[in-house]
Amino acid sequence: MIEHKLTYHFRLLGLLTTIILLFPRVLSASLTRTANDCTVSPLGDGMDDTDQVLAAIAQCGHFGTTTFQPGTYNITRKMTLTWDLQSAKVDLHGLLSFIPDIEFWLEPENTYRVVFIQSQASWFVITGSDFEIDAHNTGGVQGNGQVWWDFFTNHTREDGDGRPISFTLNNVTNGVVRNFRIESQPFWCNTVSHSKNVVYDGMHCNASNLNPEFFGQNIVPNTDGINTYVSDNVTLLNWDITCGDDCLAIKGNSTNLFVRNVTCHGGNGIAFGSLGQYFNLSDIVENVHMEDLKMVRIDENIQPNMHNAIYFKSWTGSVNGEPPTGGGGGTGRVHNVTAKNVVFDQLDGAPLHLYQTNGGHSGDAPSTLMFSNLTFIDWAGTTLSNTVVDLECSPAVGCDNITFDNFTFTSNSSSAPRFICQNVENLSGLNETCD
């Protein structure tokens, strides 16, 4: 995929960075003719690494290899260019640490707004094609989330308020991200949008509150592992997510998604949605295969929630305000989804939940977004609640063809297990009656 002729070896120390920044034409004139290789080391305590990080990608991000040596890179401001990678390799052994200056990052001009859905902001955006980023299980992003989570315990959170997504792939074709870590994401950990043929193999995200003042509370909402949006042929392998929200959130026009070996520590579980938020857009989610999923409850001081294993949600058929915070009335469908080999641990909600009233009010028109051809195979685990399956499909369109096979559970609740299936056609494989 990537061809290099390693004719240059730059060690980008402070002085050289300055030279590159002062004489960009000289260097780009020589580098465009040859493949190239950049190596960067952290400048050290109290220094700002933003310039040298950008200079390296500007020099070696096309037809080159950029190596970031281990350590912490101090990112103090908006990276003034996205990382546009063309036929490139990045070996990221260190962490890009985004300074914990909340007021600064919340200013709209200091982040990117490339993720359309809910007008979200991004810190670190990759675009381009035919690249691989290997972070060797040591590199990635340090989000310094604790100060954000503390701050937002007494400030209002809203979608689109400028809290930054840590790592965004947007407008990517043929990209690979390997063994990447995101420590303490303040908000969504990852987003992939308007992209195709993307493989993430090895991803660690961890939003764990360590402030005892807030033990036992979920002060890390919206720290989703990933949101996928308008992307085709994305593969997620070997993910390990600790969060207080959706471990994965599959949003509109995610098609041909393959997921294997995901562990979710705490949070809401894996979401399909929310869908149908934009009345003028149709959300189509199809051909999704997920296997080897594990939901693990953790110390309740750190994260009290471990809610569902998988849940599906759409807005109602009525428009209630405008996105990012309001919305509804969107059309679409979710079909051909398989979730196989799912194990879960002390869920406080139903292992499987589907509802179509997100953001709704009583008296709203029912959603016209339809769920069909959903298959759930080899599920086992424990629940604290007695509701095991809760399918509340829209009366306007219903759900069609929902298949269970070897779907087992142990309920720790003293009440009899409940199975709810509203407006479902062609349900099969549950021993219990579902009403």
Ligand X SMILES: *[C@@H]1O[C@H](CO)[C@@H](O)[C@H](O)[C@H]1NC(C)=O
Which residues carry out catalysis?
Answer: 245
CB of 394 to ligand X, least distance (A): 14
Place of tokens 């300074």: 99
Task: Figure out which of the listed residues 375, 386, 422, 423 binds ligand X, where binding follows CB under 6 A.
Answer: 375
Running DSSP on this structure, what letter comes out for residue 240?
E
CA separation for the pair 94, 42 (Å, rounded): 8
Residue 46 burial (CB count, 10 A):
6
CB of 146 to ligand X, least distance (A): 10
CA separation for the pair 369, 275 (Å, rounded): 8
| Pattern 60-79, ligand X, x by CB under 6 A | --------------x-x---
CA separation for the pair 192, 188 (Å, rounded): 11
Residue 37 or 49 with smaller CB distance to ligand X: 49
CA separation for the pair 10, 17 (Å, rounded): 10
CB of 210 to ligand X, least distance (A): 6
Residue 341 or 423 with smaller CB distance to ligand X: 341
Residue 223 or 357 with smaller CB distance to ligand X: 223
Considering the rule CB under 6 A, would residue 365 count as an interface residue with ligand X? Answer: no
CA separation for the pair 176, 124 (Å, rounded): 16
CA separation for the pair 371, 379 (Å, rounded): 20
Residue 306: helix, strand or coil by DSSP? strand
- DSSP characters over 101-153: -HHHHHSGGGSEEEETGGGEEEEEEEEEEEEEEE-TTT-EEE--HHHHHHHTT
Residue 88 or 281 with smaller CB distance to ligand X: 281
Residue 30 or 408 with smaller CB distance to ligand X: 408
Considering the rule CB under 6 A, would residue 171 count as an interface residue with ligand X? Answer: yes
CA separation for the pair 136, 179 (Å, rounded): 5
| Pattern 149-168, ligand X, x by CB under 6 A | -x--xx--------------
Q: Which stretch binds ligand X (CB under 6 A): 53-61, 146-154, 156-164, 267-275?
A: 146-154
Q: At what angle do helices 14-22 and 50-60 cross, to 10 degrees?
A: 60
Task: Figure out which of the listed residues 208, 222, 223, 367 binds ligand X, where binding follows CB under 6 A.
Answer: 208
Task: Figure out which of the listed residues 159, 291, 300, 378 binds ligand X, where binding follows CB under 6 A.
Answer: 378
Locate 188 and state its tokens: 């969504």
Considering the rule CB under 6 A, would residue 382 count as an interface residue with ligand X? Answer: no
| Pattern 284-313, ligand X, x by CB under 6 A | x--xxx------------------------
| Pattern 75-114, ligand X, x by CB under 6 A | -x----------------------x---------------
Task: Figure out which of the listed residues 325, 358, 401, 422 binds ligand X, where binding follows CB under 6 A.
Answer: 401
- DSSP characters over 375-420: EEEEEEEEESSSEEEEEE--TTT-EEEEEEEEE--EE--SSPPEEE
Q: Is the peptide bond before 274 cis (omega within 30 degrees of 0)?
A: yes
Considering the rule CB under 6 A, would residue 144 count as an interface residue with ligand X? Answer: no
Task: Figure out which of the listed residues 233, 325, 386, 423 binds ligand X, where binding follows CB under 6 A.
Answer: 233
- Enclosing H/E stretch for 41: none
170, exposed or middle or buried, with CB in 10 Å at 0-12, 13-18, 19+?
buried
Label residues 173-209 b or e (16+ Cβ within 10 Å = b): bbbbbbbbbbbbbbbbbbbbbbbbbbbbbbbbbbbbb
**Which residues 325-344 are close enough to bind ligand X by CB under 6 A?**
335-336, 338, 341, 343
Q: Are 61 and 84 in contact (CB under 8 A)?
A: yes
CB of 362 to ligand X, least distance (A): 27
Q: Which stretch binds ligand X (CB under 6 A): 12-20, 159-167, 236-244, 347-355?
A: 236-244
Residue 93 or 265 with smaller CB distance to ligand X: 265
| Pattern 264-283, ligand X, x by CB under 6 A | -x---------------xxx
The residues binding ligand X (CB under 6 A) are 45-46, 48, 74, 76, 99, 150, 153-154, 171, 174, 197, 199, 206, 208, 210, 213, 230, 233, 238-240, 242, 252-253, 261, 263, 265, 281-284, 287-289, 335-336, 338, 341, 343, 372-373, 375, 378, 380, 400-401, 403, 406, 408, 431
